[in-house]
Amino acid sequence: MQSLLGQPAAYDEIRRRFRWAVPEHFNIASVSCDHWAKVDPHRTAILDVAPDFGISPFSYAELRLAADRLASAFERAGIRPGERIAIFLPQGRHVAIAHMAIYKLGAIAVPLAVLFGPEAITYRLHDSGARLVITDRAGAERLAPLMNEAPGVESILSMDGEAHGAMALQRFCEGAADHFETRRTRADDPALMIYTSGTTGHPKGALHGHRVLLGHLPGVEMHHDFLPQAGDRLWTPGDWAWAGGSLNVLLPGLAFGVPVVAWPFQKFDPEAAFAMMSHVGVRNAFVPPTGLRLMRSVENPVGRFGLGLRTLASGGESLGTPTFEWGREVLGLPINEFYGQTECNLVLSSSRAMGVMRAGMIGRPVPGHEVAVIREDGSVCDIGETGQVAIRRPDPVMFLGYWNKPEATAAKFIGDWMTTGDRGYSDADGYVGFVGRDDDVITSAGYRIGPVEIEDCLIKHPSVALAAVVGKPDPLRTEIVTAFLVLKSGHEPSASLADDIREHVRKRLSAHEYPREIHFIDDMPLTTTGKVIRRILRDRLDASD
């Protein structure tokens, strides 16, 4: 894939000359797999890294062969274009194979994060109507007891062989054709669905067309200072099931022919991250702000590990000036901050090479995207005036809509402005600064967490009558999940009960969603229509500090 930004130049020049050229027909697998398999088959697509930092390269020729076989097997199994296939795997070559096979067929990929608990998994499988799930032995063990709640799932395919009722992926592909002609999909045909949290109702499936990859490329080029350059090598600690992992790293890296480093781990270790990047030769990293804050605790990382980074990018929550300054002073390079949402990602960015860099500000609009801070009536705010960050449609990176939720999709827009729910302001130079959320989504450790899913889980605990969840400011994680609970009659507050409730949520949803703080209260503040007044709860937290 050629650069969409063209020859390196200053920001204003690139923005002036930029024009979108989205073809009528486009398929992600054509550019992220087939192209390089044809022109440079031995080029490395994925670098699988073992716990001891041993490296196993996986070429584009191998990627195409495996993806073609899997796509052929999907077709033989009766999977049709537009049907959903879930991917429940940690970082690794099999994630790339699954994505490419699904796109080749014209089906829709539904990535599931490995840290999801059973309730989070079953909801997404049921809501998406996924027919197949591709996983490993550990995933098959976790999925087996959930299948009664996801009746639409016909088969679980395990890359590790038959286990816990799952069919071996190798057996599923036996006898399948070695070549599959990638379908001639339209750019707007659905390709990928990533679930995003909100404050009302359950998580929503943000459905994207094949054009979403093209829409991401200018932003990836920008925050990695004109990626690709000779020797570039991409890595993120983020799960490839998140938009940040799949759309900011995996798929753009494959499209540009830049090796993507896959390093699965159970818990982020900042010292190990520095050691891995040095050993593997990572040149371009995307690390969310919380990860960078943890990495700040490592003494003399450049002297100890010989870091060879060319670019370091960050997004998902506010970076903050101290971490920005640490990157420049300790690592010797500024951190290129960027911004977007699952529904419309990578629309604001910084770039040292383009002269877009300002501490405390997110950045400026990525060429090709029209971003503004608007008022409630859709008019554009004055310089310095706080409003809602919004993106104007049409835009190739923008979602097609929420899965089976047309009302929620319509509510996302004010005229042609797609609203983000984020409060911000712009300065005289076009930089955008972040103020905070205007809804109740909690931003914690780079994850956007909706309270409803957690509250639903909390009230399933036998002692809980009412539950409300808010975010409490935290210097490391941006916010921590904080729960206010009204107990059922006969139950008394205690530290042991709070621990039991935390474990209840952690096991059923995920490790990043359980409430780190729990407050037991006698009465829940409610509106006349029965809605929780979260503002009062947040005020209580402020008053207690």
Tokens 């929620």, residue?
408
Per DSSP, the residues of 309-341 read -SEEEE-SS---HHHHHHIIIIISS-EEEEEEE
Per-residue pLDDT band for 527 (boundaries 50, 70, 90) equals low
Q: Other CB atoms closer than 10 Å to residue 414's CB: what's the count?
A: 16
Lookup: tokens for 74:
């999907």
Q: Distance (Å, rounded) from C-alpha 308 to C-alpha 331?
A: 10
Over residues 287-315, mean pLDDT = 91
Handedness of CA 385, 386, 392, 395 (dihedral sign): positive
Burial 373-402 (b: 16+ CB within 10 A, else e): bbeeeeeebeeeeebbbbbbeebbbbbbbb
* pLDDT > 80? residue 349: yes
Lookup: tokens for 517:
């703080």
Per DSSP, the residues of 4-27 read SS-S---HHHHHHH------SB--
Per DSSP, the residues of 180-228 read -PPP--BTTSEEEEEEE--SSSS-EEEEEETHHHHHHHHHHHHHTTSS-
Q: Please report which helix (H) or strand (E) contains residue 504, including its range.
A: helix 495-508
Average pLDDT, the chain: 93
Over residues 397-408, mean pLDDT = 97
- Return the pLDDT at 127: 96
Per-residue pLDDT band for 417 (boundaries 50, 70, 90) equals very high
* pLDDT > 90? residue 296: no
- Return the pLDDT at 282: 98
pLDDT tens-digit map of 39-76: 999 999 999 999 999 999 999 999 999 999 999 999 99
Torsion, CA 346, CA 348, CA 354, CA 359, rounded to 10: -120
Phi, psi (deg, nearest 5) at residue 16: -65, -40
* pLDDT > 50? residue 28: yes
Q: Residue 408: which region, alpha, beta or left (left: phi > 0; alpha: psi -120 to 50)? A: alpha
* pLDDT > 70? residue 545: no
* Chain centroid offset of residue 362 CA: 18
Per-residue pLDDT band for 529 (boundaries 50, 70, 90) equals very low
Over residues 515-542, mean pLDDT = 82
Q: What is the 3-state secondary structure (H, E, C) of 107-131?
A: CEEEECCCCECHHHHHHHHHHHCCC
Over residues 82-94, mean pLDDT = 98
Closest by alpha carbon to 544, among 519, 511, 514? 519
Cβ atoms of 517 and 442 within 8 Å: the answer is no
pLDDT tens-digit map of 119-170: 999 999 999 999 999 999 999 999 999 999 999 999 999 999 999 999 999 9
- Return the pLDDT at 525: 87
Lookup: tokens for 118:
């059973």
- Return the pLDDT at 528: 44
- Return the pLDDT at 434: 87
Lowest model confidence (mean pLDDT) among 160-164, 194-198, 310-314: 194-198
- Return the pLDDT at 199: 46
- Return the pLDDT at 451: 81
- Return the pLDDT at 197: 65
Burial 185-205 (b: 16+ CB within 10 A, else e): bbbebbbbbbbbbbeeebbbb
- Return the pLDDT at 364: 98
- Kindly list the structural domains of the chain, giving each domain's residue range(s) and its CATH number in brackets, ordered by start: 27-32+60-209 (3.40.50.980), 442-544 (3.30.300.30)
- Return the pLDDT at 531: 63
The proportion of the chain whose per-residue pLDDT surpasses 90, expressed as a percent, equals: 79
* pLDDT > 70? residue 81: yes
The proportion of the chain whose per-residue pLDDT surpasses 70, expressed as a percent, equals: 97
Handedness of CA 194, 197, 202, 204 (dihedral sign): negative
Burial of 482 from C-beta contacts in 10 A (0-12 / 13-18 / 19+): buried
Q: Which amino acid is at 345?
A: N
Q: Distance (Å, rounded) from C-alpha 522 to C-alpha 212?
A: 48
pLDDT tens-digit map of 436-475: 766 677 888 888 787 878 887 898 899 998 888 999 999 8
* pLDDT > 90? residue 411: yes
Q: Distance (Å, rounded) from C-alpha 81 to C-alpha 27?
A: 13
The structure's pTM equals 0.87
